[in-house]
Amino acid sequence: MSQARKPDRRSPGKAYMNALRQDHASLSRVLRLIDALADRLSRSPESVKPVLLDALRYLFQYHHAFHHPREDRLFARIRARRPALEETLGRIDHEHVSGEQEIAALVGDLENANTRQLAGKPGARLAARIGEYVQHARIHMRDEEVVFYARAEAALNEADWTAIVDDDGPQDPLLDPDSIANQYPALAEHLGLAAGYLSETADQEATVADFHRQLIALTDVYGSLLHDGLDLTRANVKRLLAVRGPFGLLRTVGDISTDNLRFAGHCVSRPSRWAINTGCTLVLAWARPYLPRQASDNSFDRS
Amino acid sequence: MVSWQTRTAKLLGRLTIRQALRRQLDIAEMRKRIKAMERFFPNLPPDVQVMTEPGLSHCDAEWLKPTAGHSDRVILHLPGGAFMTRFKRAERFLLARLCRATHARGRLVFYRLAPEEPWPAGLDDCIEAYQQLLSQGVEPKNIMLSGMSAGGCLALALLLKARDQDLPMPAGAMLMSPATDLTDDYDQGSRAANASRDAVLSLEHGDEIRRLYLAGRDELASHPYVSPVVGDFSGLPPLFFQVSSTEILLDDSQRCAERARDAGVSAEVEVWERLPHGWQALSFAPESGRAIGRLADFVRECCP
């Protein structure tokens, strides 16, 4: 699994670009994890906080400290060769700086927040900020790949690459299981998990409130009725359009009435006792908070 | 928390697609209705262009290219639709968004559909599309396979068949709620537990769909190219599943991932909370954008 960053001396440009792309691959892996964890931060802060903290620290300590400076060296060389890209390069430089400041702030805020705060509105706000950071990081990566990574190899010469590669830094800890386990144990453990539940757990998901279950069943029943009604209407219109003469009209109206009554008798005018009871229960459950308190107290006394 | 847009889509899905699947199975009528529903899906984003040439021997296929330029990555996408129909516009838009997010080209394969062209016609088209990419000089390490629902099943079958034919493997596969088990164990696990909770799919005509797909040869259902969940996953590239907790197809993803991991293949399942089948294609829903963001992350991981 461990892949040392050793540039190929025969094509230093290719090796360097491969290394940068590999950094983006690792970054994407961690961004995907952060995005999923941020969702769960306010619901289960105890289990999420350590992993999220490790993941954000990894971004701060590797990507902002080493990967971006590597890119900056590359971009500086491209800037010298392609002055037309000055404006875009300026924007990317600015994003590197602002991204680093934002991640430092996120790490600080997450470290300082206690479980109670994370479970409340501050936790939700922090999760939203983390989500925004992830979005920006993805767009930033895509822009870099579109504008610079694609052009770098064509724009730079051998001397440029030699200068950049000679000054290369450390290896991405995510590529070495031992390194990631030592430096970011919670992150390493989480990356080894097989299933990523974006909800709490599968079991909790399975216990849906009875209210929802009944609502779903009712929607199915009335959805089916709606389709029956539409089919019948379509058939009736077709019959009426095919009518020729007054006797035909009388006969068609008679047929339609018989069919509609059968339809109504089956579904609408005499719906099943279950559908009526469930409907009433749902209406009462929905209205209970709005009912006068005394009424419900009295009924309790009577029982 | 599920967004209001997705809640609305769930309700509409329950009242339309699910009802259609629960009522008498009329393929022609279903295709007509889907075509009518497709009018509500957006057209292509302006920064992605479509090319219909070159096609494939027996079916249409499209190239999607971001106009801002693209990397060497290619996403080969197989649309869903119970092997018998498809949401052409929705799938095209989904692939366009994936291409935009990953700076990749997209190859959309409109494989042949049952019952007119039963199995293995559709799978053959998918294999041909993959071989065509290889013959065009696209390196396997730059190819990502993706499939939605029935397309996910075909994507896994493609991987199994390509491995059996000694073709090089693509870099990875993204499987969105794949239907991977066409054997008749319909009354177990998530298929039973989520039978009423699934907002889109219903298995009331599951047997009939399978019969039409296999042209009545039900014994083929336990073939790995039909039900990939029974296959041997060794030698496959990394797999990434996205599925919702309320789908009848939840177990299909989880069982496949388990089998893959047992065979030493990297497989990850993301279980999203209470979303409808195929939510990735609901371009108006925030959950769709987030799912595509994560799929794009996976593409970068596999195709640096």
Determine the Cα–Cα distance for residues B99 and B92; give it in Å rounded to an integer: 10
Q: Is the minimum CB–CB distance between A226 and chain B shorter than 8 Å?
A: yes
- Percent of chain B whose predicted confidence (pLDDT) is above 90: 65
What's the domain count of chain B? 1
- pLDDT value at A294 more than 70: no
What residues of chain A, 7 to 36, have a C-beta less than 8 Å from chain B? 18, 21-22, 24-29, 31-32, 35-36
Range of the domain at B88: 4-302
Q: What percent of chain A has pLDDT over 70?
A: 79
Q: Note the ipTM here.
A: 0.82
Answer whether residue A299 shows pLDDT above 50.
no
Confidence of residue A261 (pLDDT cuts 50, 70, 90): low
Is A118 a member of any domain?
yes
Residue B269 touches partner A, C-beta closer than 8 Å: yes
A256 and A112, same structural domain?
A: no
Q: Is the dihedral of CA A175, A189, A192, A38 positive or negative?
A: negative
Q: Picking from A39-43, A241-245, B29-33, B185-189, which range would have the lowest pLDDT averaged per residue?
A: B185-189
Nearest CA in chain B to A174: B301
Q: Which helix (H) or strand (E) holds B169?
A: none
Domain final residue, candidates A165, A191, A217: A191
Same domain, A66 and A128: yes
pLDDT single digits (tens) B60-74: 999 999 887 788 899
Residue of B nearest to A227 (CA): B19
- Is A7 contained in some domain? no
A14 three-state secondary structure: helix
Q: What angle do CA B80, B82, B83 make, to 5 degrees?
A: 80
Asked if B148 and B75 count as a contact pair (C-beta separation under 8 A), the reply is: no
Please choose, from the candidates A190, A175, A132, A58, the residue with its C-alpha nearest in 3D space to the C-alpha of residue B293.
A132
CATH of the domain at A84: 1.20.120.520
SS3 annotation, B216-241: CCHHHHHCCCCCHHHCCCCCCCCEEE
Asked if residue B120 has a cis previous peptide bond (ω within 30° of 0), the answer is yes
Cis peptide before B238 (omega within 30 of 0): no
Looking at per-residue pLDDT, the higher value among A200 and B214 belongs to B214
Mark whether A99 and A152 lie in a shared domain: yes
Domain end point (choices A191, A226, A241): A191
Q: B109: helix, coil or strand? A: strand
Nearest-CA distance A302 → chain B (Å): 38
Share of chain B above pLDDT 70, in %: 99
What is the sign, positive or negative, of the torsion defined by CA atoms of A232, A234, A236, A242? Answer: negative
Instruction: Tell me the average pLDDT across A117-145.
Output: 89
CATH code of B58's domain:
3.40.50.1820
- For B220, the token pair is 């083929």
Residue B168 gets which letter from DSSP?
P
Cβ of B270 and A205 within 8 Å? no
Is the pTM higher than 0.90?
A: no
Predicted pLDDT at A86: 82
Which of B239, B294, B299 is the mutation pick for testing A, counting most A CBs within 10 A? B294
Number of domains in chain A: 2
- Checking if the pLDDT of A134 tops 80, the result is yes
pLDDT digits (tens, 9 = 90+) for A67-92: 888 888 888 888 888 888 788 888 88
Find the domain containing A286 and state its range: 202-299
Give φ, ψ of B64 to 5 degrees.
Answer: -115, 125
